[in-house]
């Protein structure tokens, strides 16, 4: 019975991955990673603009979201009795469930309208707010499972609380932290809706921060519904690249955790 | 009338707080009316006790008598639990560690603690575990650290077993070795007092014997306070033994006297196994 439901649950996943691979593979070649998208009915070209745009925006978003999210997660986990932690932890849950389109529109008003241009900065801001609650929550969860006896052992040695948190608690829970950050990156890399209203599209790689910027999800969205057969294949190819990126990210998370939990040797 | 009775009761308690043979010894630790609570639940109801230096003092009593809470008050660890409070005084060499001006971090540096279950830092090597207290308080001198590591590991009778694998994870050792690693870690910061909260309860008899032997040697340099619910252990290692019951100190005396000739009926009933 359980086996049956597991099989039913993974069938759609397998079908989607299969479809993406079959449809996207014809577009993949070395030039797919080095060229910009083609004109209608003129070969497959490449998705360099999307790869670079996504890398730029996800990178910027990570730079913003990691310190804030990890900081918030530490606060939620280490000061649970604080009212502010309770309140902001609740807000964090709300944020995690927030429609990402609304988040995009918020930054449209805040950044796109005030700077009068779609931009990588607006896109990165929207993505960072989407990553933030994921990172904060996984940080909190991975620090909470660090046994209280380790904190006490450290405190009993005369180590101040903040040092106990940063040197003992975080180092013990760091594989969970890394997982959270990678999950946040994977989530942000796949977001489409907020980028449509914040980053827009550009047919070549980004050259400035305040300029419309392409992204992989936008290419999938835009080229996929255009109706030109070569563009459809480009969209499938972009989807394949994105799915492969996420799979690699997820597998490396698993490998990293596996290595951590079995590692017996440590450095002097 | 009521004041009179309370005064008398208090007088009597004070007499109990120190064995007569210690009345002229300057205590290492002295508690005055030490009370502790979790929320509104008072688990320690006013302990007056004087603990002599360079001796092993055992705190004994049935589960829930407050013995663990008592030692956790002596290094200000109790207050870290959310909702936990402490009242009264605890004097270390005559200075109240609960004074407004006292810094809990500085207090904890003078008082080492070994916990019920071995708790080495899982991400650290054996070497790094031992010197953790030093490195985390900013000591960087490599020579000093290696020296402290060897000295503490020798002090904890662990050196010969681990000297060739100092880079291995602390978690790779056996339970008894881990506990001695934790003792070494506590010794490395050169405390004056060593609190041991049922340090052998998770260990087999061989490992227990090693740690008991260790305690007898360590008391030359440290004041040792050990919590135990094992009466045999108290009689084997402790010079003085205190019997706690329901958050109160019932009796405190030389170990032999307490076991052979207890003054209180409650103590007698406990050591003869009539309750607990």
ipTM score of complex: 0.87
What is the pLDDT, as a whole number, of residue B259?
92
Would you list the DSSP string of chain B? -HHHHHHHHHHHHHHHTS-GGGTTSPPSEEEEEEEEEETTEEEEEEEEEEE-TTSEEEEE-STTSSHHHHHHHHTT-GGGSTTEEEEEEEEETTEETTSTT--HHHHHHHEEEE-SS----TTSBHHHHHTHHHHTTT---HHHHHHHHHHHHHHTT-HHHHTT-TTBBGGGS-HHHHHHHHHHHHHHT--SEEEEESTTTTS-HHHHHHHHHHHHHHTTTSEEEEEES-HHHHHHH-SEEEEEETTEEEEEEEHHHHHHS-SSHHHHHHHTTS--
Task: Give the pLDDT score at B273.
Answer: 84
CA distance A167 to chain B (A): 8
Q: What is the pLDDT of residues A165-186, one digit of tens each?
A: 999 999 888 888 988 899 899 9
Q: Which residue among A149, A156, A264 sits closest to B169, beta carbon to beta carbon? A: A264
Q: List the domain range (segments joined by +) for residue B26.
A: 15-125+192-271
DSSP character at residue A40: T
CB contacts, 8 Å: B169 with chain A: 263-266
Q: Is residue B177 part of a domain?
A: no
Q: Which residues of A touch B142 (CB under 8 A)?
A: none
Residue B237 inside a domain? The answer is yes
Interchain pair B123, A157: CB under 8 A: no
pLDDT-derived band at B17 (thresholds 50, 70, 90) equals: low
Domain contains B249: yes
Residue of A nearest to B114 (CA): A153
Q: Provide the CA B268 distance to its chain's centre, in angstroms.
A: 24
Domains, chain A, ranges and CATH? 47-262 (1.10.3720.10)
Q: Cα distance from A90 to chain B (closest Cα, Å)?
A: 20
In a domain, B168, yes or no: no
* B150 contacts chain A (CB < 8 A): no
State the average pLDDT over residues A19-31. 91
The CATH number of residue B205's host domain is 3.40.50.300
* Chain A contact present for B186, CB below 8 A: yes
Q: How confident is the model at residue A42 (pLDDT cuts 50, 70, 90)?
A: confident
* Within-domain flag for B181: no
Does B124 lie at the interface with A, CB-CB under 8 angstroms? yes
Distance from B174 to chain A by nearest Cα, in Å?
13
Q: How many domains does chain B have?
A: 1
Residue B161 has pLDDT above 60, yes or no: yes
Distance from CA of A148 to the nearest CA of B (A): 10
Mean predicted lDDT score pLDDT of chain B: 89
Core vs surface per residue A110-126: b (16+ CB within 10 A) or e? ebbeeeeebbbbbbbbb
Residues A268, B125: C-beta atoms closer than 8 Å? yes
| Residue A40 pLDDT level (bands cut at 50, 70, 90) | confident
Mean pLDDT of B145-160: 93
At B3 the pLDDT is 53
Question: Is B74 among the domain residues?
Answer: yes
B10 within domain boundaries:
no
- The reply to whether residue A157 touches residue B132, judged by beta carbons under 8 angstroms, is yes
pLDDT greater than 90 at residue B21: no
In B, minimum Cα distance to A147 occurs at B119
Taking only the tens place, the pLDDT of each residue in A132-159 is 999 999 999 999 999 999 999 999 999 9
pLDDT higher than threshold 50 for residue B109: yes
The average confidence (pLDDT) of chain A is 89
Q: Measured between alpha carbons, how far is B269 from A114 in angstroms, rounded to an integer?
A: 82
B254 in a structural domain:
yes
Share of chain A above pLDDT 70, in %: 96
Which one of A77, A83, A266 makes the best mutation probe of the B interface by having the most chain B beta carbons within 10 Å? A266
Show which of residues 23-82 on chain A sit within 8 Å of chain B, judged by CB atoms.
80-81
Using an 8 Å CB-CB cutoff, list chain A residues near B111: 156
Question: Residue range A223-242: average pLDDT?
Answer: 91
B31-57 mean pLDDT: 93
pLDDT band at B19 (very low <50, low <70, confident <90, very high): confident
Q: Which of A159, A171, A268 sits opposite B123 (nearest CB)?
A: A171
């Amino acid at each position: 019975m359980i086996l049956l439901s597991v099989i039913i649950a993974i069938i759609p996943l397998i079908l989607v991955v299969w479809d993406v691979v079959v449809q996207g593979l014809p577009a993949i070649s070395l030039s797919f990673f080095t060229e910009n998208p083609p004109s209608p009915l003129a070969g497959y070209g490449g998705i360099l603009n999307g790869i670079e745009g996504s890398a730029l925006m996800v990178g910027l978003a990570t730079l913003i979201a990691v310190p804030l999210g990890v900081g918030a997660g530490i606060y939620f986990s280490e000061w649970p009795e604080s009212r502010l932690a309770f309140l902001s932890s609740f807000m964090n849950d709300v944020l995690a469930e927030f429609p990402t389109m609304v988040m995009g529109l918020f930054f449209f008003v805040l950044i796109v309208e005030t700077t009068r241009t779609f931009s990588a900065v607006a896109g990165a801001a929207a993505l960072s707010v989407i990553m933030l609650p994921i990172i904060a929550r996984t940080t909190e969860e991975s620090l909470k499972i660090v046994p209280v006896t380790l904190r006490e052992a450290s405190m009993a040695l005369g180590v101040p609380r903040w040092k106990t948190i940063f040197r003992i608690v975080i180092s013990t829970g760091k594989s969970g932290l890394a997982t959270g950050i990678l999950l946040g990156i994977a989530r942000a890399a796949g977001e489409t809706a907020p980028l449509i209203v914040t980053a827009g599209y550009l047919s070549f790689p980004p050259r400035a921060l305040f300029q419309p910027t392409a992204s992989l999800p936008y290419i999938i969205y835009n080229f996929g519904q255009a109706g030109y057969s070569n563009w459809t294949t480009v969209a499938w190819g972009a989807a394949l690249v994105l799915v492969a990126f996420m799979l690699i990210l997820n597998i490396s998370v698993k490998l990293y955790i596996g290595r951590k939990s079995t590692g017996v040797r440590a450095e002097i | 009338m009521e004041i009179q009775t309370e005064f008398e009761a208090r007088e009597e308690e004070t007499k109990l707080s120190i064995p007569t043979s210690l009345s002229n010894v300057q205590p290492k630790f002295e508690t005055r009316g030490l009370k502790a609570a979790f929320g509104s639940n008072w688990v320690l109801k006013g302990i007056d006790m004087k603990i002599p230096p360079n001796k092993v003092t055992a705190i004994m009593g049935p589960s829930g008598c407050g013995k663990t809470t008592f030692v956790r008050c002596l290094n200000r660890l109790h207050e870290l639990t959310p909702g936990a409070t402490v009242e009264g005084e605890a004097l270390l060499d005559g200075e109240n560690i609960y004074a407004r001006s006292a810094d809990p971090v500085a207090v904890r540096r003078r008082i080492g603690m070994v916990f019920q279950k071995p708790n080495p830092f899982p991400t650290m090597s054996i070497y790094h575990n031992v010197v953790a207290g030093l490195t985390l308080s900013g000591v960087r001198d490599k020579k000093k650290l290696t020296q402290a590591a060897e000295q503490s590991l020798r002090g904890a009778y662990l050196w010969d077993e681990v000297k060739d694998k100092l880079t291995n994870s602390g978690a790779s050792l056996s339970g008894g070795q881990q506990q001695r690693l934790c003792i070494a870690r506590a010794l490395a910061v050169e405390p004056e007092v060593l609190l041991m909260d049922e340090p052998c309860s998770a260990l087999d008899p061989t490992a227990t014997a090693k740690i008991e032997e260790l305690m007898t040697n360590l008391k030359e340099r440290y004041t040792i306070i050990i919590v135990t619910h094992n009466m045999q252990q108290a009689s084997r290692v402790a010079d003085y033994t205190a019997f706690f019951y329901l958050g109160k100190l019932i009796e405190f005396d030389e170990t032999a006297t307490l076991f052979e000739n207890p003054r209180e009926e409650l103590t007698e009933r406990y050591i003869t196994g009539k309750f607990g």
